[in-house]
Amino acid sequence: MSFNILSLDGGGIRGIVAAKMLSIIEKQIDKPLNEYFQLITGTSTGSILAAAIASGRSSQEIVDLYKQQSSIIFPYRKRFSLKRLPLLFKHGISAPKYSDKGLIQVLQGVFGDTTLFDITSPLLLIISFDTIERSPIFFKSWRQDKGYGNVPLWEVCVCSASAPTYFPAHKLNRRIGGTAQDGYSDAIILDDGAASVDNIYNNMQISIIDGTGISQTRTIKKYIGSTRTCTIYPAWEKVPDKTSIYSIKSQYSAIDGGVAANNPSSCAVAEALRLGYSIQDIRVLSIGTGERTRIIPFEQAQHWGLIQWAQPLIGILFDGSSEIYEYITKQIAHQRILRLQFKLDRELTGKRLSDDIDDVSPENISNLLEAAQVYMQQPNIQTSLHKFLSN
C-alpha cells in the first residue's frame, strides 16, 4: 500500500502558488488532501499550508487566507516606513523588517487552540531551526516524547516561518530529559542526548524527576559540552546515579526552517523510512513556491559586503537548500516523486512575478495565482500529475 507524502516549500507570500496548485489537485482527487496523504511536511510558509491541510482545511480556504490576510503579516514594503519605528526603538538599527505580531495574530485566528498533538492523521512534520544549539527542530505530531511538548499549532508555524531579517526569532520553552550517566556531590553527567556546546545550560534549572535523588532541583553553574558535565549549586543532598532521570528547563531560539531545509521532502522520506515504510511504497508530491530568476552579476557580487548581502543572502540560502534536498529526494525515491515548480519569469503569462517573499500587492498576488493556474493546465504537467495520482 502506498505511503503518500506531501512536501511544501517555504517562500512567504509565494505560498499562494502552492495553495493554488493544491486546490486544483484537490478537485482532481475529489477528496480532502488530509485523507489522501499519510504524511504532510512543510517549512516556513509551507508549514502554514501543511498545518492547515492536516487540520482539515481545504486548499481554497488557504488561498483565501493568503489573499485576505497577507497584508496583516506584511503591512508595508519599505524598511523606512513609519510603521516600523516601534521595531527600531525596541531592537535598534538592525531590527528585523517586521514585527511578528501580525504573523501571530493571523495564525492564532486560523488555528485557535489546536495543538501539535491534536493532529493524529495525517502525520505532520514541520521544520524550524534553533540558533542556540545550531541545529534543526523537527516538530512531529506523533512524537509526544520530544522536548517541545504539545505546542499550539500556531506557535509551531511561527517557529518555522520566522525568516531572519524579516521577523524576530521566536522563543519557545523546551524540556531536555535523559538518564544520568554519573553523579557527584556538586555535579551530574548527562547522557549522549545532551548538547556538546560548552556553557549552553548555564544558569538553567535541572530537576531529578525519578530514581535516586528524586525531587531535587538545582541551578547549573557551568556546563562542559565535551564531557556533558553540569556543575550545580547548591550541592546535592542525595547524589544522583545511573538510575536518576533528569529534566532541564530550557528554550529554543527558533528561526525559519528554510535555514535547514526549505524543501523538506527528504526529511519526510527519512521519517517514513524510520517509521518502517519501504522505499518502494513511498511516493512524494513536492510543491515549490516559484523559482527565483533574479540574477546577481559577478560585477555586483564581488564588491558586496555585509549590508548588500543581508537581504539577498536569505533567498540564496533558501534556494540552495531547496535544490539540494530535491536532488537527495530524487536519488532516494527515483520515479516516485513529482516536483511541481515553475520559474518566476514572464514565460507562463507574460506578466511580472515578484520573487520577494513579502510582495503582497494585489497585482502580484493576482499574477501568481494566474501563473499557477496556467502552469497546472499545461499538458505535460497534467500528464505527470495524472500518472502520479493513478499509481
* 7, 23, 44, 59: the active-site residue: 44
Secondary structure of residue 130 in the 3-state scheme: strand
By DSSP bridging, strand 123-130 and strand 39-43 are parallel
Residue 214 has pLDDT above 60, yes or no: yes
The confidence score (pLDDT) of residue 162 equals 96
Percentage of the chain beyond pLDDT 70 is 91
CATH number of the domain within which 197 lies? 2.40.10
Measured CA to CA, the distance from residue 251 to residue 262 in angstroms comes to 23
Q: Is residue 74 a contact partner of residue 64, using CB atoms and an 8 Å limit?
A: no
Which residue type sits at 78?
A: K
Q: What pTM, to 2 d.p., does this model score?
A: 0.89
Residue 193 has pLDDT above 60, yes or no: yes
2 catalytic? Reply is no
Q: Sorting pLDDT into bands at 50, 70 and 90, what band is 86?
A: confident
Residue 322 has pLDDT above 80, yes or no: no
Place of cell 502580484: 364
Which structural domain, as residue segments, surrounds residue 26?
A: 3-167+256-390
Residue 197 and residue 229 in one domain: yes
Q: How far is CA 307 from CA 71, 85, 162, 256, 296, in A?
A: 26, 20, 20, 21, 15
Residue 229 and residue 295 in one domain: no
Residue 15 and residue 102 in one domain: yes
Residue 136 and residue 239 in one domain: no
Last residue of a domain, one of 200, 226, 253: 253
Residue 221 and residue 363 in one domain: no
Q: Sorting pLDDT into bands at 50, 70 and 90, what band is 1?
A: confident
264 preceded by a cis bond (ω within 30 of 0): no
SS3 sequence of 232-266: EECCCCCCCCCCCEEEEEEEEEEEECHHHHCCCHH
Residue 49 has pLDDT above 90, yes or no: yes
Q: Is residue 178 a contact partner of residue 151, using CB atoms and an 8 Å limit?
A: no
Place of cell 486548499: 59
In residues, how long is the chain?
391
CATH number of the domain within which 67 lies? 3.40.1090.10
Residue 193 and residue 275 in one domain: no
Which residue type sits at 368?
A: L
Measured CA to CA, the distance from residue 125 to residue 134 in angstroms comes to 19
Q: Sorting pLDDT into bands at 50, 70 and 90, what band is 314?
A: low
Residue 155 has pLDDT above 90, yes or no: yes
Last residue of a domain, one of 205, 228, 253: 253
- Closest among 38, 25, 58, 3 to 125, alpha carbons compared: 38
Radius of gyration in angstroms for the set of CA atoms belonging to the chain, rounded to a whole number: 23
Residue 247 and residue 273 in one domain: no
Residue 307 has pLDDT above 70, yes or no: no
Cell numbers that stand for 210 in this block: 525519578
Residue 350 has pLDDT above 90, yes or no: yes
Helix axes 362-377, 15-29, angle to 10 degrees: 40
Residue 125 and residue 182 in one domain: no
Q: 67: how many CB neighbours lie within 10 A of its CB?
A: 17
Residue 7 has pLDDT above 80, yes or no: yes
Residue 178 and residue 284 in one domain: no
Last residue of a domain, one of 221, 253, 285: 253
Per-residue pLDDT, averaged over 35-63, amounts to: 97
CA atoms within 13 A on the CB side of 330: 10
Residue 101 and residue 29 in one domain: yes
Average per-residue pLDDT for the chain: 91
* 192, 226, 278, 390: the active-site residue: 192
Q: Report the phi/psi class of residue 350: left, alpha or beta, with left for phi > 0 and alpha for psi in -120 to 50.
A: left
**Largest Cα span, the chain:** 74
The tally of domains found in the chain comes to 2
358 catalytic? Reply is no
DSSP state of 186: T
Residue 315 and residue 361 in one domain: yes
Residue 261 and residue 227 in one domain: no
By DSSP bridging, strand 3-8 and strand 39-43 are parallel
Per-residue pLDDT, averaged over 245-254, amounts to: 94
Residue 213 CA to its chain's centroid (Å): 38
Among the residue ranges 85-89, 139-143, 360-364, the one predicted with the least confidence is: 85-89
Q: Sorting pLDDT into bands at 50, 70 and 90, what band is 88?
A: confident
